[in-house]
Chain A
Amino acid sequence: MKRSTFYLMLSAMIPIAIILCAATLLLAAAKVGDPAPAFTATASDGKTYKLGDYHGKYVVLEWHNNGCPYVGKQYNSGNMQKLQKQWTSKGVVWFTILSSAPGKQGFVTASDENAYIAKMQAAPTAALLDPSGEIGHLYDAKTSPQMVVINPQGVVIYDGAIDDKPTTDLADVPGATNYVSLALEQSMAGKSVATPATRPYGCSVKYSDSSR
C-alpha cells in the first residue's frame, strides 16, 4: 500500500471512529434496571474512588454545580446536607459528582470543593471531580441536581429528580416528596421502587463543548 493511500484511509477512518465512539457512549448511558456503569474518579479529598469497590452497598450519585439555583435551593435550605447525613449514617455511599468543564459554571478545583463542603457542612462520602464529563456522559446526566441510586447488586434503581417540586424556591423544600429517600426506603424494605425514573429537573450539566 502506498503511504499516501494509507494516510487517506486513516484520515477517513478517524471521523468514523469518532462517530462510533459517540454512538457507543450514547448506547452505554445508564438506564433504570441496568447495571450501573463502572467508573474510577479522583475526589476533592485526593483519594481515588472506584464504583466497583462499593458492591454490596447502596450508592447515591448527586450531580452538582454550586452556581445552579436548583442546587442552591437544596444546599441553602440544608436539605441536601440532611439527606447526605441521614443516608451515609445508614451505610449508604454518597458521591457528589462535579461534571462542569473548566471555564464553565460549577467547575471547581479540589481545594474550592473542599472549602465549599466545609462552608456548607456537606457530608458526602466524597466529591468526585469529573471535568472531562466522562462520568456524566456515562450516566447521561442532564441536570444538576440529577440523582441516581444504585442498589447493592450494582443495578440502577432510581434516576431522575431529587424531588417532585421542579422549582428554585426554598419554600418548596419542606412539602416536597423526595424521590431519593423513597427509592432507598422502598428498596431497603425489600419492595420495588414505585417511582424509578423522573425528569431530572434543574440546570443543564455544563459539559465541555468538545466532550461530545
Chain B
Amino acid sequence: MRLTCVTGRKSQAAFRRAVILSAAVLAVCSTRAHAAGAPIPHGTLELIAEKQWIAAGHPFNLALRFELEKGWHIYWVNPGDSGEPPRVTWDLPAGIKAGAIEWPAPRRLGTPTIVDYGYEDAVTLVVPMHADATLSSQNAAQIAANVKVLVCREMCIPGKAQVSLTLPVKLQPPPASAQSTQFFTEARKAWPRPVPASWKFAIAQTSDSFVLTANLGHKITDVTFFPLAESQVSNASPQTLVPTATGFTLTLRKSDQLLKPIARLKGILVLSGEQPYSIDVPIAKPGGAAGAISSKQMRDQSIPE
C-alpha cells in the first residue's frame, strides 16, 4: 500500500483515515495465517490456516483457496465428462495428518453434449487436519501442500504449485479469530449438509434410468443432482424433474459406463434457493417390490402443472 505524505487540516483527517484503514488491512491480514498466493495457470493458490497456532491433540483446519481469472474453472471430486479434480499431497511433520477434502457443491459446466462439474472464479477447499496429543511445542510445524490442478476454459492447462505455512505448536487451544472464522464460515456455507430427518428419498430403476423420488413436505420446482462417483449417471443427459405436491421425482439417465448394478446412489442435491444437501439413497432392484415405482404410479403421484 502506498501512503502519500500530506499536510493541512483536511488532509490530516484523510491521513488519519488512511492510517486507520491500513492498520485495519494489516489486522485482517495478520489474523489469518497464510502464505502469499502461488501462481497456477490463470489464477492463484493460497494455503490458509483457520487458527493462529496448532494445539497438540486438537484438530484444526486448513484451506486451499483457488482464485481464477474470469471464465476459467477447476473441477469437483467427480469432474464429470472431462477434466480431473485437484490432487494434493502433503509434506507434514510427524504427528500431523491431513484428512479428506471437504468439497463444496459444484456447478454444471460445459456444453449440451459434454457436461463437467466444477468451480468458476474462486473456490475454497477446506481440509480437516489431525494433530497428535504428543506433538511437541518446541518446534513450529512446517506444512506444505503440493497441488496438481487442471485449469480449463476452452482449453485445459495442467498446473503444479507448492504452498506452505509455518504454524507454532502450543499446548493451549488458539483463540477464535474473527476474520478467519468468517472466511471459514463462508467456505462452510457451500458445503452440502445432511438432509432433515423428515425428508424421505427412494430410488427406483429402469434399464436405462434411476428415478429419485423425494418427499420433503413441500413442492420443489428446481433440482440439480451431482453424482459423487463417476460413471454412474450420464452427465450430459437432461435431469427430468416432475414436481409433486410434497417434493419431486427426478429421472437420471444411467451412464453408458455403468456396467454393474450399484446398491446406492450418493451425491449432492441442489434445490432452488436452498443450501446443498448430501444424499445417499439405496437403489431398489429393477422390478423389486420395495421402493420400485412404476411409471404409472409416477404419473399418479405427479400433479398437473
Residues of A near any B CB (own CB < 8 A): 31-32, 67-70, 104-105, 137, 140, 142-143, 159-160, 166-169, 196-199, 201-207, 209, 212
Contact = CB atoms under 8 A, between A and B. Distances in A.
Contact of A204 (B110, B148, B231): B110
A212 B83 CA distance: 21
Contacts of A204: 81-83, 110-111, 114, 116
A207 B157 CA distance: 18
Most chain B CB within a 10 A radius of its CB, from A196, A201, A204: A204
A38 to B, nearest CB: 20
Contacts of A68: 155-156
Interface string B121-147: 000000000000000000000000000
Given A32-B256, A142-B81, A197-B256, A69 B113 contact: no
Contact of A198 (B83, B154, B231): B231
B84 A201 contact: yes
Contacts of A207: 111, 113-114
A212 B156 contact: no
Interface in B83-140: 83-84, 110-114, 116
Main secondary structure of the interface of B (DSSP, over half): loop
B150 to A, nearest CB: 7
Contacts of A209: 111
Contacts of A205: 114
Given A31-B256, A203-B82, A212 B155 contact: no
Contact of A212 (B81, B112, B148): B112
Nearest to A103: B154
21 contacts: A31-B256, A32-B256, A32-B259, A67-B155, A69-B150, A104-B154, A105-B154, A137-B113, A142-B82, A143-B82, A159-B256, A168-B150, A197-B259, A198-B231, A201-B82, A203-B83, A204-B83, A204-B110, A204-B116, A209-B111, A212-B113
B257 interface: yes
B168 interface: no
B41 to A, nearest CB: 10
Nearest to B82: A204
B154 to A, nearest CB: 6
A6 B158 CA distance: 55
Interface of B: 81-84, 110-114, 116, 148, 150, 152, 154-158, 230-231, 236, 256-257, 259
Contacts of A212: 111-113
Given A204-B116, A212-B112, A196 B155 contact: no
Contacts of B111: 204, 207, 209, 212
A203 B259 CA distance: 23
Closest 9 CB pairs of A and B: A204-B82, A168-B158, A197-B257, A142-B81, A204-B114, A105-B155, A199-B230, A199-B231, A143-B82
A212 B115 CA distance: 14
Given A31-B256, A32-B256, A160-B257, A142 B155 contact: no
A205 B111 CA distance: 10
Nearest to A201: B84
A69 B116 contact: no
Contacts of A167: 84, 148
Contacts of B230: 199
Contacts of B116: 204
Given A197-B259, A203-B82, A69 B112 contact: no
B84 A143 contact: no
Contacts of A166: 84
B239 to A, nearest CB: 15
A4 B81 CA distance: 45
B263 to A, nearest CB: 19
A143 B81 contact: yes
Contacts of A201: 82, 84
A52 B149 CA distance: 42
A204 B235 CA distance: 13
A166 B154 CA distance: 19
A17 to B, nearest CB: 18
